[in-house]
Amino acid sequence: MKNFSGKVLFLDRSDINTDEIIPAKYLTEITKESLKPYLLEDLKLDGFESLRDVEGKTVVITRANFGCGSSREHAPWAFEVNGINLIIGESFARIFRQNMFNCGMMAIELSVRDIDRLFKIFADRETFLEADLEKNLLVIKAEGVEEKISFSISEFDRALVEAGGWVAYADSHY
């Protein structure tokens, strides 16, 4: 299984699309690793600088409809090669969400209220998140603050994460 715990990157906007996550001009790359420097290059978000802000992060917390637009799996791959395997948001576009679990990564949905609270408490601080898949629990910490939020994951999505993705799962089942 991949690592789902570490420093958090907050992206405070809804409808972040896959063209912003990885622009189409980089889709001519045929290795995942070569996408690394281009993650979130075209993200429209005040004060955001992709190379500076992505460095060292493991988890993304964002708003609604994350990953809308193109079907490119290059979007999850660009996160993966930067060490980010967990994205937490209010909601996800279907294909992006499926691509995450198909790669053995996780896209976790929390309520609008929980997401709001996380942004309010942590967005301006250096924040660490630990994902406990046994207890379905997220522990979010910054200096002097700690929040615990439980999350749900379907049996099928968990099987994909445990198998390391859909190819491995499908190959042993069909």
Partner 1 sequence: MGKTVAEKIFDSHLVDNPSGDINVIRLDAVFCHEITTPVAINDLVVRDKDRVFDASKIKVVIDHVTPAKDSKTAAQGKILREWSRRNHIQDFFDIGRNGVCHAIFPEKGFVRPGYTIIMGDSHTCTHGAFGAFAAGVGTTDLEVGILKGVCAFHYPHTIKIVLNGHMPEGVYAKDVILSVIGRLGVSGATNKVIEFTGSVVDALSMEGRMTLCNMAIEAGGTCGICYPDMTTVAYLWKFIKDEYSDKKAALEDFEKFLPDSDAKYDEVIDFDVSDLEPQVTFGYKPDNVKPVSEMKGIKIDQVYIGSCTNGRIEDLRVAAQVLKGNKISDSIRGIVSPATPEIFSRAMDEGLLKIFMDAGFCLTNPTCGACLGMSNGVLAEGEVCASTTNRNFNGRMGKGGMVHLMSPATAAASAIAGYITNSDRYKSAKRK
Does 170 bind partner 1 (CB under 8 A)? Our answer is: yes
- Which residues within the stretch 111-150 sit at the binding site for partner 1 (CB under 8 A)? none
Q: What's the CA gap between 108 and 80, in Å, rounded?
A: 16
Does 51 bind partner 1 (CB under 8 A)? Our answer is: no
Does 37 bind partner 1 (CB under 8 A)? Our answer is: no
Q: What's the CA gap between 88 and 91, in Å, rounded?
A: 8
Does 83 bind partner 1 (CB under 8 A)? Our answer is: no
Does 173 bind partner 1 (CB under 8 A)? Our answer is: yes
Q: What's the CA gap between 89 and 147, in Å, rounded?
A: 16
Q: Output the CA torsion sign for 70, 72, 78, 80.
A: positive
Please, what is the minimum distance in Å from the beta carbon of residue 164 to partner 1?
11
Strand order in the sheet with 128-132: 106-109, 86-89, 59-62, 6-11, 128-132, 137-142, 145-150
Among 73, 80, 109, 114, binds partner 1 (CB under 8 A): 73
- Residues with Cβ within 8 Å of 162's Cβ and at least 6 positions away in sequence, in order, are 1
Please, what is the minimum distance in Å from the beta carbon of residue 88 to partner 1?
17
Which residues form the interface with partner 1 (CB under 8 A)? 15, 17, 19-20, 23-25, 27-30, 32, 42, 44, 64-65, 68-73, 76, 91, 93-95, 98-99, 102-103, 154-156, 159, 165-167, 170-171, 173-174
